[in-house]
Amino acid sequence: MPSLPVLVVHGGAGHIPKDRAQISCAGVREAARVGYACLQAGGSAMDAVTEAVTNLENNPAYNAGRGSVLTQHGTVEMDAIVMDGRTLASGAVSAVRRIANPVQLARLVMEKTSHLCLTAEGASHFARAMGVPEVPEESLITEYARMRWRKNLDPDANPVQCMMMGGETPSAPVDTHDTEGKIGTVGAVAVDAQGNIACATSTGGMLNKMEGRVGDTACIGCGAYADNHVGAVSPTGHGEAIMKVTLSRLILFYMEQGKSAQEAADQGLAYMKDRVQGLGGVVVVDPRGDWAARFTSAQMAWAAAQGDQLHYGLYVGEHFTQPITDPKGP
């Protein structure tokens, strides 16, 4: 039964190695609890999604903030976005470096500038003007991220050619190896007790991406969309495919035409798979508190908090529940 408030988070779609499944599941449950506690304390949907995503950025298990995948040059460039369904206000940063919590910087772009997106050095200068501390790049890089980067990058390769040969060309279907390179984008959607809707997404992008690559996450309508009249979506998966079909806005269009959150999510993901051979996943809410966590990838870590229950899962068809107050998972 739908009810308010509600919050749903994801920790990224893709193939999650077995040894990382447990921590990936635990992290989204914790982030859902943190965001839901904010809602229960009277916080806005925007506050809740910001807190949930901040929590996931700080968790090194995910490809966002600390734990981000590395670019072809071994650096960390992050994209993040927030959107407020009341006013359609949004803020985003793209290809930003040396920031612990890009989602909070995206929110500052929304709240403190007249713009919707700041990129690269411009975003860094804005962060400095806002008093956001610059952190050492090393503090964002985990041993796991460095190991994967080394494994995937041939140091003699031509950067452009390297990307072209990475199974990433438009004509190449997305296979498990390909999707594995992009696990871990994080996101949240929420409806607060007042019926206001918000969403947030944050990512380190694609493993061994080119310098300056901007994916779906920084792009409104692709990596996020929220509208109080319809609902909100935060996606994860093959960023370029998500962009080609403007996945978040697409799913909300289906909901405007009468589909439920789950039907619209499935229809949007099926369209992305058919039309541009892209796999991914989404978390979705509607204004009544109906929600969905759906994916076409092998796995997606997700968790939802509503009423006194915490819902979560990782593999297709999994849907566990536990009391929200129970701090231990199975």
Q: Residues comprising the binding site for substrate?
A: 213-216, 236-239
d(CA 135, CA 101): 10
Q: Which is nearer to a second copy, 9 or 123 (CB)?
A: 123
Q: Which two tokens stand for residue 260?
A: 């439920």
Residues of the binding site: 213-216, 236-239
Residue window 50-79: x/- pattern of binding to a second copy, with contact defined by CB under 8 A: ------------------------------
Half-sphere exposure of 285 (CA within 13 A, CB side): 37
* Nearest alpha carbon to residue 192 among 86, 37, 39: 39
Decide: is 121 part of the binding site for a second copy (CB under 8 A).
Answer: yes
d(CA 318, CA 25): 12
Residue 87 appears among annotated catalytic residues: no
Give Cα 195 distance to the centre of its chain: 22
Tell whether omega for the bond before 17 is within 30 degrees of 0, i.e. cis.
Answer: no
Select the span of 3-11, 53-61, 145-153, 246-254 touching a second copy (CB under 8 A): 246-254
Among 38, 100, 103, 117, binds a second copy (CB under 8 A): 117
For residue 44, what is the DSSP state? -
Place of tokens 């919050």: 7
Q: Please, what is the minimum distance in Å from the beta carbon of residue 263 to a second copy?
A: 17
Residue window 80-99: x/- pattern of binding to a second copy, with contact defined by CB under 8 A: -------xxxx-x-xx----
Using DSSP's 3-state secondary structure scheme, residue 67 falls into coil
Pairing verdict, β 78-84 and 186-191:
unpaired
Decide: is 159 part of the binding site for a second copy (CB under 8 A).
Answer: yes
Decide: is 157 part of the binding site for a second copy (CB under 8 A).
Answer: no
What residues are labeled active site?
A: 185
List interacting residues with a second copy (CB under 8 A): 87-90, 92, 94-95, 112-123, 125-126, 129-130, 159-160, 163-164, 166, 168-170, 209-215, 218-222, 225, 239-240, 243-246, 249-250, 253, 275-276
